[in-house]
Homo-oligomer: A and B are copies of this chain.
Amino acid sequence: MEATIALRLPRDAASVPLIRQMLDAALRSLGVVPDIRDDIELMLTEACSNVIKHADPSDEYTVSATVHNALCVIRVIDTGDGFDPHRLREAAPGAEGGRGVQIMRALADDVRFDNRREHGAIVCLEKRLSFLPDAPLKAG
């Protein structure tokens, strides 16, 4: 079994709770355990809020999430100016910003930032899934 959700969204803050809720509901239907769903909600939110905050000048972005072989792969793609992931600094202890990437790195099993100067940023997040004993099908 393989499941994919893909959305083309306006670069609008209201899109973030929408995709978060949609993916969470899909993962719940598949029987993914709540802790993993919480982590995925947060990783996804960080990647999407970054598009809203930083991905000027794009006005749309896409999110796709695929579940296959007990792995969830999320791709958030914008058409903004992109950024250089190697130039990110760790947030200072009392700093307000700069924790999004830190959180993604902490929660995802794998994070990749990809960039093409004229095509914006691609954030790819992977998370290994665990399922409740009564999960339908072998979603794995």
Contact = CB atoms under 8 A, between A and B. Distances in A.
Interface stretch (A16-24, A75-83, A87-95): A16-24
11 contacts: A1-B15, A3-B7, A3-B8, A4-B4, A5-B26, A6-B6, A9-B137, A18-B136, A22-B26, A22-B30, A25-B29
Contacts of A6: 3-6
Interface in A80-118: none
A103 B14 CA distance: 36
Interface of A: 1-10, 12, 14-15, 17-18, 21-22, 25-26, 28-30, 136-137
Given A14-B137, A25-B26, A137-B18, A5 B8 contact: no
Contact of A8 (B2, B8, B30): B2
Contacts of A29: 18, 21-22, 25
A30 to B, nearest CB: 7
Contacts of A8: 1-3
Nearest to A66: B6
A41 to B, nearest CB: 13
Given A2-B7, A8-B1, A9-B1, A137 B22 contact: no
